[in-house]
């Protein structure tokens, strides 16, 4: 009986070997059934050997934007310009789009730094994102000049604080024209060039925590609606453009200290106290605190992230 038991036991394959064989077979069948996308460049770079010059001298290479061409709408000032500088530091070539006749004074400093210290360039294009033909023509010209199109931050936007009972149709159309249609057409213009040139890319739409919640004491019905639309737009574009290896995500900032908020504080001084108290960190944010998010979403550090919203609000919406 003992010998019979022994021979039976050795004749049967072990459970672990069965599981290994099954898993291997499943992986093989999955690879055969599912089309494999083009491998992001960072996957190859990260698998280089330890003595490779690239991996030995470069830390976190997946955050690099070297040789990437990125458009930043609303890049003439404020958050857009701050994020543009971060992209330049990561190695990107940046083209800023804004309706300002002249960009903010700080733009010249950033452009000089890009040229003299970062080995890159920051170029200004004056146009209104509501002018779709001009927008598409400008983006195509950038792609033709650079031979590629890799990314977008759609940061152009406007704000208006008016009670819903007093809002005019004209003001509402203007708000949605910039914050929704303008964002949509900018993303479309950039994505068209990515598809035409056959290169993958990443698109970032600037939303707001106001697209998720109705801010207590802030009367901005059209603005809040426009930012909710941006969040949904991002998810839909991600679902359509994923097949082209184009990722689309959104960033939802909390209250930011800007020239616009400074003017609001002049009109409503109590907000200097109430706004910081509305989040878990008891303070307002600064544009510089959104630099890392921009680089993360536009680089291969987020290569498997799309259709998502990155909300950076000090915990405002988590109460």
Both tokens of 284, joined, read 């307002």
Our CA dihedral for 141, 229, 249, 142, rounded to 10 degrees, sits at 0
What's the rounded Cα separation, in Å, for the pair 132 and 16? 61
Catalytic residue among 5, 57, 227, 286: 227
What's the rounded Cα separation, in Å, for the pair 299 and 293? 10
Sign of CA dihedral 183, 310, 279, 216: positive
Both tokens of 123, joined, read 């170029």
For the chain, where are the E strands, in sequence order?
69-73, 93-98, 122-126, 151-154, 201-206, 246-253, 309-312
Q: 223 catalytic, yes or no? A: yes
Bridge partners (DSSP) of residue 248 are 203
Catalytic residue among 5, 66, 223, 286: 223
What's the rounded Cα separation, in Å, for the pair 227 and 229? 5
Whole-number Cα distances in Å, 313 to 161, 179, 318: 20, 20, 9
Non-local CB neighbours of 26 within 8 Å, separated by 6+ positions: none
Residue 154 sits at φ, ψ, to 5 deg, of -95, 90
What's the rounded Cα separation, in Å, for the pair 199 and 176? 30
Bridge partners (DSSP) of residue 49 are none
Question: 3-class SS at 104?
Answer: coil
Sign of CA dihedral 99, 100, 101, 105: negative
Q: 227 catalytic, yes or no? A: yes
Question: 3-class SS at 151?
Answer: strand
Q: Which residue has the tokens 């536009």?
A: 298
Which residues are known to be catalytic? Answer: 223, 227
């Amino acid at each position: 009986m003992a010998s019979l038991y022994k021979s039976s036991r050795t004749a049967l394959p072990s459970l672990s070997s069965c599981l290994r064989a099954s898993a291997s077979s499943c992986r093989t069948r999955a690879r055969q059934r599912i089309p494999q996308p083009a491998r992001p460049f960072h996957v190859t770079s990260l698998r280089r050997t330890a003595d490779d010059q690239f991996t030995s001298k470069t830390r976190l290479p997946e955050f690099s934007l070297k040789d990437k061409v990125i458009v930043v709408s609303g890049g003439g000032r404020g958050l857009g310009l701050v994020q543009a500088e971060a992209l330049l530091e990561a190695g990107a070539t940046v083209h800023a789009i804004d309706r300002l006749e002249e960009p903010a004074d700080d733009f010249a400093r950033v452009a000089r730094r890009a040229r003299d210290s970062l080995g890159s360039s920051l170029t200004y294009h004056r146009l209104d994102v509501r002018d779709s033909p001009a927008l598409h023509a400008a983006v195509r010209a950038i792609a033709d000049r650079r031979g590629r199109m890799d990314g977008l931050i759609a940061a152009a936007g406007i704000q208006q604080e008016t009670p819903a009972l007093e809002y005019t149709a004209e003001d509402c159309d203007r708000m949605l024209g910039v914050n929704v249609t303008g964002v949509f057409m900018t993303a479309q213009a950039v994505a068209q060039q990515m598809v035409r040139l056959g290169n993958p890319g990443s698109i970032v739409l600037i939303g707001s925590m106001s697209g998720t919640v109705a801010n207590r004491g802030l009367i901005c019905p059209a603005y809040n609606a426009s930012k909710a639309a941006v969040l949904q737009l991002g998810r839909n574009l991600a679902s359509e453009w994923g097949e082209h290896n184009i990722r689309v995500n959104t960033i939802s900032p909390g209250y930011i200290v800007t020239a616009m908020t400074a003017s609001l504080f002049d009109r409503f001084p109590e907000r200097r106290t109430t706004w910081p108290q509305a989040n878990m960190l008891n303070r307002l944010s600064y544009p510089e605190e959104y630099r890392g998010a921009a680089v993360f979403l536009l680089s291969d550090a987020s290569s498997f992230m799309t259709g998502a919203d990155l909300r950076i609000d000090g915990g405002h919406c988590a109460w």
